A and B are shown apart, each in its own frame.
Chain A
Amino acid sequence: MQNLWLIPAFPFAGFLANGIFGRRLPKMATNFIAVGSVLLAFAWALKTIFTLGDLNAPYVEHYFTWIRSGEFHVDYEFMVDRLTAIMLLIVTGIGSLIHIYATGYMAHEEGYPRFFAYFNLFMFFMLTLVLADNYLLLFVGWEGVGLCSYLLIGFYFRKRSATTAGNKAFIVNRIGDFGFSLAIFLIVVNFGSLNFGTVFSAAPGKPEATLTAIALLLLVGACGKSAQFPLYVWLPDAMEGPTPVSALIHAATMVTAGVYVIARSSVIYTHAPAAMEVVAVVGLFTAVFAATIGLVQNDIKKVFAYSTVSQLGYMFLGVGVGAFSSGIYHLMTHAFFKALLFLGAGSVIHACGGEQDMREMGGLRSKIPITFYTLLCGALAISGFPFFSGFYSKDAILLAAHHHAPWMYWVGVITAGMTAFYVFRAMFMTFFGKYRGHHHPHESPPSMWIPLAVLAALSVFGGFLFKVPTILGTMFPTVEEGEDIALMAISVAAGLIGIGIAYFLYVVRPGLADTIAARAGGLYKVVYNKYFVDEIYDATVVNPLITGSRTVLWRGIDAGLIDGIVNGVGSQSKGIGGILKLLQSGNIRSYATWVVFGSVVVIVAMGIAGVAR
């Protein structure tokens, strides 16, 4: 018995401690509980994985029955296999770093213990999600991380935009969960169980149509959680939350849960090729679509938010073309470099006194050098610069895509170019040229830059050190990937070209970009306004729903039609009511007498009826 339950239990204890007593505890104690509980979870995960050794077969721990109805039952059961092991280490490892960072970043914020209570609660649910051995327990984590995301996006709850963004995140995720829960129902109907082992061993024998339906419904859920088109709209708004939240939840861990679920359900997907194709196309489209929006954003966090949407699209492309291990590989490297980019952005924002608009930055290279050099590592990694972490994983996905369908590779390469461009655009606007703001920038405290340095190291060496496809090896059906130097060179070149154009536009000839934007006119406006997708959703779904409910359903049917009839009938009987009123003395004893009297009348009446029979 490895006591896997301890891994999520540590942060849960931290949540309870800080949530209930936090306001009475000194700040040091809050830090100690919050960071300590996550470090303990990390340590316990490491210990478990080392003890379990090669994990060729999944290791299962069964606790007790959660829900039983007839023959069907769902249990509390946790499981570790190689995929879970990787996820565990990413979540607890990156989670620890970001918790440490947050003690510095949030130091002067109101509601400090509340922040860490939510943060620990998030860890609890995320760990439940990756440890779960059945779909329903996974769904507990799945909805739970959504809750924490909602709470943390709306952390500054006095700000209306923040709480609105929180609601939006929760509700859009609920739309995705609508699909996810239907998938669960369909699995139970067809398999009689939600246990992974049971479902996956029976899946190959089921009709393809059933598996396709389940796979597509799971995809709807994954699109919500992992911000894929058309349900990506909540993620950019989620940047209203404090930056550590963006790094941990909206970049490194929670948003990758959709990729995890698809990889976890790989048996279902591989037997539903049509659904796989949809996953790949959705991912690829989202990757390009979000990248184009990222090209023109001026808020540094918004750039990285759209970048996250785009990179998640990459992961979907990977798992969609059957390269499950490459998708998870990119999930891991992305967790390294995107957490780094967000935390670095947080450090920049911190330095500039809360400013997020890159047009108010510039020339920060000499003022906050540690932030600059660490961020540079992240930027090179995401651009697929040779031998940085992103290079390995992106290359694996693109090769698999080429093997599946060459056009997907080419679209992926163009996206890679755009990615390099917008990330370096952000780098150049922030760190090069002259400082355009008014605050006095200062370097962040060690609690913030040490996690940055660790993440920078991981962004540089992580891809080389942790070869996920080798580790996962036999878990997934192998795709013939093979090395192809030419394809690799093309994608690297695309990244370099993107960096080059960004350098030319924002360092060599600053101002040229604005001229181009002005020339492009209408097109620029459409992209700058994110293709007006939010506005379209409001106009076609949200507003009709609210107006329709108010005027047609409530005022029309409820108050108008139904109550009209009821009151009509009621006024007819008012005459009778006038007589009955005399009986109402308001005296309970007399009323009780009437009840008895009435009962007697009824009994007598029935006696007569009985005789009449």
Chain B
Amino acid sequence: MNLLDIVLCTPLAGFLLTLFLPRGKPQWVKAFTLAVSIAAFALSIGLAMGFNSGSSKLQFVTDFIWNASPEIHYHVGLDGISLWLVILSTLLTPIAILVSWRSIDNRVKEFFGLLLLLEFGLVGVFAAFDLFLFYIFWEVCLVPMYFLIGIWGHERRIYAAVKFFLYTMAGSVLMLAGIIFIYNRAGTFNYSSILDMLGSGRLSFTTGEEMLLFLAFFLAFAIKVPLFPLHTWLPDAHVEAPTAGSLMLASVMLKMGTYGLIRFCLPMFPGASRQCAPWIVILAIIGIIYGALVALVQPNMKKLVAYSSVSHLGFVVLGIFSFTQMGLDGAVYQMLNHGISTGALFIVVGFLYQRRHSLEIKDYGGVATVAPWLSTAFLITTLASIGLPTLNNFVGEFLVLQGSAQANFRWTVFASLGVILSACYMLWLYQRVFFGETPEGVRHHMHDLNLREWVAIVPLIILMAWMGTGPQTFLPPVSSSTAHLLEQSKMNVPLRVHAAPAPPINVVAEARHAH
């Protein structure tokens, strides 16, 4: 049992133990789940410390046969792409518990237990290297989120929860069919073996099969991302979900989709991926602009942030399907960035909601006068979200747009419009909520951050600055893995390659530095 297994099992054990805690002691439940999630986070830091970032090989691997026939492996491991996503999950879970501390007062045990179950599912999704195991974790994530929205949500929670569930199920059923089809051909669910077989030619698909399989997987992931026009579950789910639900949904669960695209679609179906890339990129760019424009006119803060996610995730998809090193690095980095900054946005919106009990922008105004530190936290998060240099999103957006410029400059021209629009909707939101005269309703309810809220938001703000100014802490393992992945996605590709290869980068001898 290696460290990764421990990180994976800690929240599961925590969840199971929570079920036996006494119902009448909500404080115990909170303290216990917080302790478990912090322990899981601390352990996951060990993963980063022990990770060899120069290698593209799977690390912290555990692989044994879980079920002989059909052959299902318990095969988990980390590469540079999944490493940070696992840590993102373990980082955000204790924060989700902290922000729910006061706002959840019914069925406390279930709520905090489900957060741990969700964490288990998320870590598992990013660590699984067996298709069936992956599918199980994928579904395990779905369940707690469904309940988080359906039980602790706002007025239209049932509609939102069912919509979320049906949308996701529709996609994952197709993916399951695809997984079974592959099993029938390969005789195993073990993903590493399948890739080896594909690489050596022992397993191959006809063009038609590859395309259908690609589409089956792609649809499941595209719904999760969500890619335009499959995004309409997202605003409803966010608006109805409690803060912790929105946080985990936006920050981590959406990345299950983009992660799946990178992990499974590109290496297994390289030909189909490249063939569909121009169409997918068009959808991504529509999503970037469309999401931003619709965000601009939202009267509800959470809906605004939800549509902004549609826009931001469009950048990730664009980066993935640019098939360039920079695009893929940027896409992975942007997944983390979005997790941090949009998560922080949902948290600060949650702070506002807890005080004023409204998500409508028109109910606010002049908050900066009465809660200056809350306003500062929101401002920094806003600036991160609109891609201000020195903060995290800038690095990701730069790499994605640069990568797409190398594939096709026109893509970058259109996608960059999203960067203008993001400033429009976020700054307008900020102006209406925080600036101006303070109405009585706001003055009466608003107070500045308390200690618990400080503890929840400050780590994220530090990360925004760190990831913006020191991305080399995080990028090297990502680059090793994406370079490997890019190689894999070149295999078995027929001659019709659509995305143009990146022009060679010639690092001209920096003559002037000789001085």
Contact = CB atoms under 8 A, between A and B. Distances in A.
Interface of A: 57-60, 62, 64-72, 136, 139-140, 143-144, 147, 150, 154, 157-158, 160, 163-164, 166-167, 170-171, 174-175, 177-178, 181-182, 185-186, 188-189, 191-193, 195, 197-198, 201-202, 545-546, 548-550, 553-554, 557-558, 562-563, 566, 570, 573, 577, 586, 588-589, 591, 595, 599, 602-603, 606-607, 609-610, 613
Interface string B58-80: 00000000010110100000000
B163 A570 contact: yes
Contacts of A150: 427
B155 interface: no
Contact of A62 (B368, B383, B420, B513): B513
8 contacts: A68-B475, A147-B388, A171-B424, A178-B417, A198-B512, A586-B151, A602-B176, A610-B70
Contacts of B427: 150, 166-167, 170-171
Contact of B435 (A147, A157, A554, A589): A157
Contact of B423 (A136, A170, A603): A170
Contacts of B506: 192
The main secondary structure of chain A at its interface with chain B is: helix
A185 B405 contact: yes
Contact of A58 (B143, B326, B389, B512): B512
Given A70-B479, A201-B511, A603-B67, A147 B420 contact: no
Given A201-B512, A588-B110, A595-B139, 16 more contacts: A60-B512, A66-B469, A67-B398, A67-B472, A70-B326, A136-B389, A166-B431, A167-B427, A171-B424, A181-B398, A181-B416, A198-B508, A548-B293, A549-B293, A570-B162, A603-B67
A527 B294 CA distance: 36
B349 interface: no
Nearest to A589: B19
B293 A566 contact: no
A603 B290 CA distance: 41
Going nearest first, the 7 A-B pairs with the smallest beta carbon separation are A197-B512, A192-B505, A70-B325, A185-B405, A140-B389, A549-B293, A550-B297
Interface in B126-181: 136, 139-140, 143, 147, 151, 162-163, 166-167, 176, 180
Contacts of B163: 566, 570
A588 B508 contact: no
Contact of A174 (B114, B229, B405, B419): B419
Interface in B482-515: 483, 503-508, 510-513, 515
A192 B180 contact: no
Interface in B285-309: 290, 293-294, 296-298
Contacts, number: 199
Given A158-B437, A188-B405, A167 B512 contact: no
Contacts of B67: 603
A287 to B, nearest CB: 27
Contact of A147 (B69, B176, B383): B383
Interface string B422-458: 0110011001001111000000000000000000000
A606 B70 contact: yes
Nearest to B470: A66
A577 B296 CA distance: 35
Name, among A192, A548, A613, the residue most crowded by chain B CB atoms within 10 Å (CB to CB).
Answer: A192
B390 interface: yes
A157 B151 CA distance: 40
A338 B513 CA distance: 37
Contacts of B469: 66
Contacts of A189: 405-406, 409, 503
B513 to A, nearest CB: 6
Interface residues of B, number: 83
A566 B405 contact: no
A69 B405 CA distance: 15
A513 to B, nearest CB: 38
Given A154-B435, A192-B507, A554 B297 contact: yes
Contacts of A193: 505, 507-508
A229 to B, nearest CB: 19
A154 B475 CA distance: 36
A66 B474 CA distance: 11
Contacts of A157: 368, 434-436
B515 A60 contact: yes
Contacts of B413: 182
B515 A185 contact: no
Contact of B167 (A70, A154, A566, A613): A566
A562 B19 CA distance: 40
A223 B176 CA distance: 54
A158 B436 contact: yes
Contacts of B140: 595
B98 interface: no
Nearest to A567: B163
A609 B413 CA distance: 49
B69 A185 contact: no
B162 A195 contact: no
A72 B326 contact: yes
Contacts of B513: 60, 62, 197
B216 to A, nearest CB: 15
B431 A167 contact: yes
A182 B479 contact: no
Contacts of B204: none
Contacts of B402: 72, 185, 188
A565 to B, nearest CB: 9
A154 B483 CA distance: 45
B143 A69 contact: no
B55 interface: no
Given A182-B416, A586-B151, A553 B510 contact: no
Contact of A175 (B329, B405, B420): B420
A67 B334 CA distance: 14
B294 A549 contact: yes
Contact of B184 (A57, A186, A201, A609): A609
Interface in B380-405: 383, 388-390, 395, 398-399, 401-402, 405
A269 to B, nearest CB: 19
Contact of A143 (B162, B388, B428, B483): B388
A59 to B, nearest CB: 8
A154 B503 CA distance: 44
Nearest to A110: B369
A592 B147 CA distance: 12
B113 interface: yes
Given A189-B503, A613-B184, A139 B389 contact: yes
- Centre residue among A62, A163, A166, A577 by max chain B CB count within 10 A: A163
B491 to A, nearest CB: 19
Nearest to B165: A577
Given A67-B399, A192-B507, A181 B419 contact: yes
B194 to A, nearest CB: 15
A558 B232 contact: yes
B225 to A, nearest CB: 15
Contact of A65 (B166, B419, B472): B472
A298 B389 CA distance: 38
B183 interface: yes
A158 B366 contact: yes
A557 B151 CA distance: 30
Contact of A70 (B114, B166, B434, B505): B505
Interface in B322-376: 325-326, 329-330, 366, 368-369
Contacts of A67: 395, 398-399, 471-472, 475
